Structure 1
Amino acid sequence: MNPVFSLFVILAFLAVVLLLEGSFVYWNDSKSPEVRRVEQRLRAISAGGHEAGESQLLKQRVMSHSPVLQKLLLKMPRAHQLDRLLEQSGTGSTVMHLITVSLLCGLGVLMVGLLLRWPWPLTVLAAAALTAAPGMRLLYKREKRLQMIEAQLPDAMDLISRALRAGHAFPSALAMVGNEAPEPIAGEFKITSDEIGFGISVDNALNNLTARVVSADMRYFVMAVIIQRETGGNLAELLDKLAELVRERFKLFAKVRVLAAEGKLSARILTVLPFCLAAAIQFLNPKYLSVLFTDPMGIRLVIAVLTLMVIGIFAMWRIVKIRV
């Protein structure tokens, strides 16, 4: 065999092996599941508060992976609020991803409306609604996640109380909740435990917890712990009473929710009914409603009716929303 050809084969084999090894190392350092979990934890810490220097540095990673877009997003006045909304909803995406999806939805509907020659008020309203849809979905997911955390909080406080009675320190009790409690409350307490391990004070870490979890019960828990650390007392007994109080509050809220169920159903039916009737009439007789979108007076009436409907929906929402 030709020695030059043999040397070429050996070098080609070594090049392929090194390429595969380099690709694996790059994937393991940047795209592996463990790295993604660490990045998600660090992103959650950076979205929680502003007390530690580490968090200030990690904020650079929250907005966007592109340096140019990152600088632009940092100049936006509401960028950090959007980032906090993403963390509160339990979504692992970035602010830039949310903005991109919203703009693409709005532009897509706008282009479809222009191609199909929809009336311009309908096109603008549809584009605005689709642009706001990702944000509304995040608000819905955040509300559901907060409800789950509030339902799991009494059991978490009982676990902390038992850990304190067993002789564990308070940070260790928080770590036990993060390791043994179910999600999503386990992730929040694990982030708080990590913040304390990174050097943030217990008070600041608990305040960051209330910033991530916007809940009255969580604020009561944090306030009780902070006051007890300043004044002293039996924290385990205090947490037992607070957990019992939260459970009784949930029982009362369940009774109120049953009593308000009929009103909520009526509000939803009255909200959806006009749009369903308009869609059915448009499908059965398209020319019947065309005058509303072609005549100037019809367009004014449509705008006035939609404005009154929004006011009515807001009023019904306030009536059926009962706080406990």
Structure 2
Amino acid sequence: MNAAASSLDQLLLVLLVLGTVLVLLVWMRGAFVAWRQRFTEMARVSLADMFVFIDPAALFRLNLAAFVAMPLVTWVLTQSGFIALVAAVAGAVMPRVTWGVLRRRRMDRLIVQLPDGLTMMGGAMRAGAGLQTALELVVKESPAPLSQEFSVLLREQRLGLPLEESLRGLAERLKTEDINLFVSALTIAKEVGGNLSEILERLASTLRSKAVMEGKIKALTSQGKLQGIIVGLLPIFLAGVLYAMDPVAMLPMFTTYYGWGTMAAIAVLLLLGGVFIRKIVSIDV
């Protein structure tokens, strides 16, 4: 009787474990599918905005390989679960950070090119050309990314989309103050009239003055930014030097709970210091 009850208990335990594993597998599969859908959709939209045409599925496979390989390599090299976990998190957020950096660089190039494009449009309209002809000139003569964005605007105009909607889409797609000024100038000039060529030339002059002022501010605050970077990287550099000098003494920092807690506190303090320095040196024009 006792043997039968023990066998029944063991069977129930096995069934419970199998059910739990099955539920976990189903949940992990659903989470993986949702992650893949979010990643591919974000990649498709982000790359399309930057006029980069790469298969999002291939990028997902590359990110998945990095997400799996980085913690494994880190674990083999350091034998630290904490650092391997940090590497896994870095592999997961690396695509979003990369896209943010690429988009910011593209926007910086567009802002630099915009005053010359507006001057070109103003000169063409002063010579008697229409708005679409001026946009065509900018598309032909300007480099990317300004020519790419204006080509989309010109294509929407040719398809019959109202100018206001095309400009609104341009502003929503780029989300920069300079483009918002350009959109507002064209919209107001279309509604109330006025010399559009003169408006564009004045706007170009204003944007150039704004860029010069921002350049001066960036030069004056670059020292503070460099100090923040050096102060932030100094603890990591010192930890590497100490580990190279005495690995045995530094090993508990990477293999014990006390060491992990210490590194977590240091990371939080470094992040707070970086945020404060960024707030101090960031000046909006």
Q: What range describes the TM-score normalised by the shorter chain of this pair?
A: 0.7 to 0.9
Letter in 1 for 2:162: S
Aligned to 1:183, what secondary structure does the other structure show? coil
2:54 to 93, 107, 120: 93
Shift of 1:75: 10
> Matched residue pairs, number?
253
Runs of 4 or more consecutive aligned structure 1 residues displaced over 4 Å after TM superposition: 72-82, 114-117
For the residues of structure 1 that align with 2:174 and 2:110, how far apart are their CA atoms? Answer: 8
Query: Is the alpha carbon distance of 1:79 and 1:295 closer, same or farther for their aligned partners in structure 2, counting shifts above 3 Å?
Result: closer
- Contact 1:85-1:139 within 8 A present in 2 as well: no
Structure 1 residue 135, shift from structure 2 partner: 2.3
* Match of residue 287 from structure 1: 248
- Aligned 8 A contact 2:139 2:147 in 1: yes
Q: Given that residues 81 and 255 in structure 2 are in contact (C-alpha distance below 8 angstroms), is that contact kept between their aligned partners in structure 1?
A: no
Q: Normalised by the size of structure 1, how large is the TM-score?
A: 0.71
Corresponding position of 2:63: 102
**What's the TM-score once normalised by structure 2's chain length?**
0.81
Q: Residue 20 of structure 2 corresponds to which residue in structure 1?
A: none
Paired amino acid for 1:108: A
1:266 Cα offset (Å) = 0.4
Residue 126 of structure 1 deviates from its aligned partner by 1.0
| More helix as a share of residues | 2
Q: CA offset at residue 77 of structure 1?
A: 6.2
Contact map agreement 1:263 1:320 (CA 8 A) in 2: yes
Q: Match of 1:205, as an amino acid?
A: S
Distance across 1 between alignment mates of 2:49 and 2:274:
26
Match of 2:279, SS state, is helix
Q: CA, structure 1 residues 254+209, in 2 after alignment: closer, same or farther (shift >3 Å)?
A: same
Superposition map of 1:274-313 within 5 A: 274-313=235-274
Corresponding letter in the other structure for 2:212: K
Distance 1:109 1:79, change over 3 A: closer
Alpha-carbon displacement from aligned partner over 1:14-59 (angstroms, at most 9, x marks no partner): xxxxxxxxxxxxxxxxxxxxxxxxxxxxxxxxxxxxxxxxxxxxxx
Match of 1:64 in 2: none
Quote the Cα distance in structure 1 between the aligned partners of 2:124 and 2:51. Answer: 27
1:162 aligns with 123
- 2:99 is the alignment partner of 1:138: yes
From 131, 134, 146, the equivalent of 1:185 is 146
SS in 2 for 1:289: helix
The residue identity in structure 1 corresponding to 2:203 is L
Q: 1:74/1:206 Cα in 2 relative to 1: closer, same or farther (>3 Å)?
A: farther
Instruction: Name stretches of at least 5 consecutive residues in structure 2 with no aligned partner.
Output: 1-32
After TM superposition, give the deviation of residue 129 of structure 1 in Å.
1.1
Against the structure 1 CA distance between its residues 282 and 94, is the aligned structure 2 distance closer, same or farther, given a 3 Å change threshold? same
Give the match's secondary structure for 2:144: coil
